[in-house]
Amino acid sequence: MPKIGVCVRREEGASRGSVRIGRPVGRGYPARVTGRGDDTRWRARTVAIDDPGPLADYLAGPDSIAWLRRGEGVVGLGVAASASVSSLDEGNAWWSDLAARIDHDTEVPGAWGSGPLAFGSFAFDPATSPDCSVVVVPRVLIGRQGSRSWLTVLHPAGEAPKASELPQRHTPTAPSYPVIDDSPEQQTAWAEQVAHLVRRLADAANPLEKVVLARGVRVRTSAPLDTRAVVERLAERYPTCWTFQLDGLVGASPEMLVRRQNGLVTSRVLAGTIRRRSGDAVERLASTLAQSDKDLVEHELAVASVAEALAPYCHGMNVPEVPYVLELPNVMHLASDVTAVADAHASSLQLAARLHPSAAVCGTPTTGARAEIAAIEGLDRGRYSGPVGWIDTAGDGEWAIALRCGQVDAADPAAITLYAGCGIVAASDPASELAETHAKLQPMLQALGVTAGAAGS
């Protein structure tokens, strides 16, 4: 395995009518839908506004939607329509049908992410987490890209639109007295599971090359959790990540599964990780990661899985020969940005469906790794490590992998489960993999106000 030179990135950042998005796939629309019937026509109007200030200030509660990065992005308020779907293709078909019935007038043509949008969050494995994936179309959207800001209002064509005015700002409530449930016994049991998996992967008769093993950590607060405070803290501390909130899932992902913008496709692959601690020398850590055979093998498998999945739906693909080192406050990752030109009928959500699950969150080969996860992980991932993001009426959009995140318990809103996973290969060390989960849990633990000592780090 060739070693790579050290290139550290402190993460620099990357007008539509109503058209039908791609071709319907699968079983049609068995989705459970809330809102108007399937024949409703909609009108959307997007108006230019002065800079609204921090977008997170407009989040009205846990049902509001956030998609933020570097001070830009969109927040969604209210629900025009939503659906519970069984797959990404089903979600794409549902939105394609609805989008074709939207008439949109805009004062900011060409602004990326403007106009009516559908936001989605999908299960890692629908077979083990049924009735989990959701697609939501907000009634009101407030967005900003560069120097342009806008307000979009969506309403049924037969109803008078609500005033195109900015809603009031809100002040979130900080999490109160968070308590983490992550005992030494739980951590030891997970490390032992990793050791067992490593022995299996080292067996020449086993066809598996890599399996991503995750664990969940539960945090309780003394009052129902106000996720708006979590969004604000994540967006401030991790500005180069994609901070999201949708249907109780909140987090800040460093990994863009796929972006489709005016036909150009980008997929950021992260695989291979080293933990950062206070006082660590950046160049030394980056060099250690760049020279790690274990991490280079893990990364190579992940990049190959993305390139293979995109190839039938894109052309002009560029796959970097070597990764760079992506620097984040808590960890460093080996990263590669795969680019291509999408076929005309391949929407961002259809591309996400082809990519998910990648080797970065599942393993290699995919089918065997997914079966191994279901058999040994002992965890319902829900929408953790599944695609989360948005799509517009032209099929453009952004779909990150739901990492560095937590899911609020719908039955107990004072409880949230946080997730972290590691790519396990034959050369993995259980203690190092456990330490990696601690590092990956840090963004959410910090946003919740859990102290370092209480977090087991």
Rg (CA), the chain: 21
Q: Are 79 and 34 in contact (CB under 8 A)?
A: yes
Range 331-344 burial, b when 16+ CB lie within 10 A, else e = bbbbbbbbbbebee
Query: What one-character-per-residue DSSP string does 291-338 give?
Result: T-HHHHHHHHHHHHHHHHHHGGGEEEEE--SS-EEEE-SSEEEEEEEE
Closest listed residue to residue 273, CA positions, set 335, 210, 366, 201: 335
Instruction: Show the 3-state SS of 202-261.
Output: HCCCCCCCEEEEEEEEEEECCCCCCHHHHHHHHHHHCCCCEEEEECCEEEEECCEEEEEE
Q: Output 342-345 pairs: Cβ under 8 A, ≥24 positions apart.
A: 342/260, 342/263, 342/264, 342/265, 342/313, 342/314, 343/313, 343/314, 343/315, 344/263, 345/22, 345/23
Which residues are known catalytic residues? 210, 255
Residues with Cβ within 8 Å of 305's Cβ and at least 6 positions away in sequence, in order, are 358, 359, 360, 364, 366
Tokens of 340: 């291509």
Beta pairing, strands 324-327 & 8-9: parallel
Cα dihedral value 334, 339, 342, 347, nearest 10: 30
For residues 84 and 42, give the distance between their C-alpha atoms in angstroms, rounded to a whole number: 20
CB 21 within 8 A of CB 394: yes
Alpha helix locations (H) across 75-220?
A: 88-99, 184-202
